[in-house]
Each structure stands twice: as C-alpha cells, then as structure tokens.
Amino acid sequence: MWSENFCKLLSKNQYKLMVSSSTFADIESVKKICVKNKSYKLMRFDEYNIKRKCLFRKLKYVAEYVNLELGFANDRMEINDHVIYIMLLESEKKVVGYLEALPIFKSFKILKYEDDVITLHPQSISNTKIGISKLWTAMEHRQIGIARSMLDECRASFFKNSNTSVSQFEIAFSSINDNFIYFLQKYYNGNLNDILIYLLEHN
Ligand SMILES: CC(C)(COP(=O)(O)OP(=O)(O)OC[C@H]1O[C@@H](n2cnc3c(N)ncnc32)[C@H](O)[C@@H]1OP(=O)(O)O)[C@@H](O)C(=O)NCCC(=O)NCCS
C-alpha cells in the first residue's frame, strides 16, 4: 500500500504523462483499441524518432514517471537499439501505458519464485530475442488488455525492418513481482514455467 506522501509525489508528477496535441502529431499509431467507449492509441518509438529533441524529452518524462511509480532508479535513458511503446488515452491526451524493450540473446527459466525472490535455472536459453525492461499500465486502466496489447505489438513489430515476428517463448523480462505474476499467468496460459528472465551482464 502506498503511503500518503508517495501518493502526493505521484500526483505532483502526473503532468509528465500529459501530452500536448503537437508532441506525437506525426507519429503514426501502430494499433488502436477501444474499451468501454474509450479510445487508446499505441505508438512505437525507436532510435530514429526518439532522437528528435521534443520526443526524447517527452519520453524521458514518461519514463521518469514510470520509474518513480515502480521504484526503479532514474537511470540514463538508453535509446540505442531500444524500442518504446506508448499507449495514449486519446480523450485525455494522457499516456496510460509504457513498454520498453531491447534486443537480447540469452535468458533463464525460473527455478523458484518465493517471497519476491527469484532463483534462476543455471542453464541459459540461447534463442531469446527481446528483453522487456519495463511494462507499465496506469492504475485506473488496468485489466482491460493494455499491457497485453503492448506486448503483442512489441513481439510483432520490434524488428520492424526485418519483418521478424517473435513468439512468447523468445521474450524475457528483467524482473517479476507478485502483481506481475498475475498478468504473466494469463499471458502464458498458466504455464509459469515458460517465463524467461534476462540478465544484462549475460547479453
Ligand atoms: C502488470 C501490469 C503491466 C499489467 O497491466 P494490465 O494492462 O492491467 O494487463 P492486461 O489488462 O493486459 O492483462 C492481461 C490479462 O491479465 C489479467 N491481469 C492483469 N493483472 C492482473 C492482476 N493484478 N490480477 C488478476 N489478473 C490480472 C487481466 O485481467 C487480463 O486477463 P484476461 O486476458 O483474462 O482478460 C500492470 O499491473 C502494472 O503496470 N503493474 C505495475 C508494474 C509492473 O509490475 N510491471 C512489471 C515489471 S516491469
């Protein structure tokens, strides 16, 4: 449960998720979804468009908010090879979903997950293609398919230029937590044995 002070801090930082009509104006949406009369637009950013100054600043703001909410260190935003997907709630011009991914080659199956501690299988899996470093949906828009849409689209279009589509078993995650497990259980049809974890130092 978040403390009152942390909620205040999040609310003070909400402006980082707001988008002016010009910011993403010329970014084509890769997917549109409509749930409960709300329209959401998914956009893909890679090193070619992220480098544009105003986009970089906006994406950095969004990443800062996501890092704050998830308790991640506010590291330097990596753009080389990285692909970012943003889900925008069109009516409010607000970012409500964020996925950050990078190319990787090796990952590990989970041997044990208990009390937030992961034990990995010692043998790595070598045919891994994408690492998901961050996946986030805004609280008020959860469990309506936003994270699933972003992840599916990432698998379909991460390697946009080579038209390589990536299966569920060729992606790995940087970490898991109790809340994320519920999502993964659905995404892997209950087979938690299929979840892969990557370590940057092994890639
Ligand atoms: C994990 C997270 C990204 C899921 O996002 P989401 O947009 O709510 O997920 P979806 O709506 O696409 O969920 C897909 C399925 O999983 C289910 N699901 C997702 N979260 C669930 C939960 N907490 N409890 C039960 N079921 C859950 C959905 O109901 C849906 O089921 P369905 O396919 O039967 O309809 C979101 O809860 C989140 O941002 N959590 C905090 C950040 C985090 O832990 N990120 C992961 C590590 S970086």
CA of 137 to the centre of ligand 1 (A): 8
CA–CA separation, 85 vs 96, rounded Å? 11
Listed in order, strand segments (DSSP E) in the chain are 29-35, 38-45, 83-89, 94-103, 107-114, 117-125, 130-137, 171-173, 196-197
Q: Whose CA is nearest to atom 48 of ligand 1?
A: 134
Structural domain including 132 reads 4-202
Domain count, the chain: 1
pLDDT tens, residue order, the chain (203 aa): 789 999 999 999 999 999 998 888 889 899 999 998 999 999 999 988 888 888 899 999 999 999 999 988 877 777 788 999 999 999 999 999 999 999 999 999 999 988 888 999 999 988 999 999 999 999 999 999 999 999 999 999 999 888 788 999 999 999 999 889 999 999 999 988 899 999 988 88
Q: Residue 41 corresponds to which tokens in the numbers above? A: 């637009």
- Give the number of the atom of ligand 1 that is nearest the alpha carbon of residue 148: 12
CA of 73 to the centre of ligand 1 (A): 22
Q: Whose CA is nearest to atom 31 of ligand 1?
A: 186
What CATH number is given to the structural domain containing 172?
Answer: 3.40.630.30
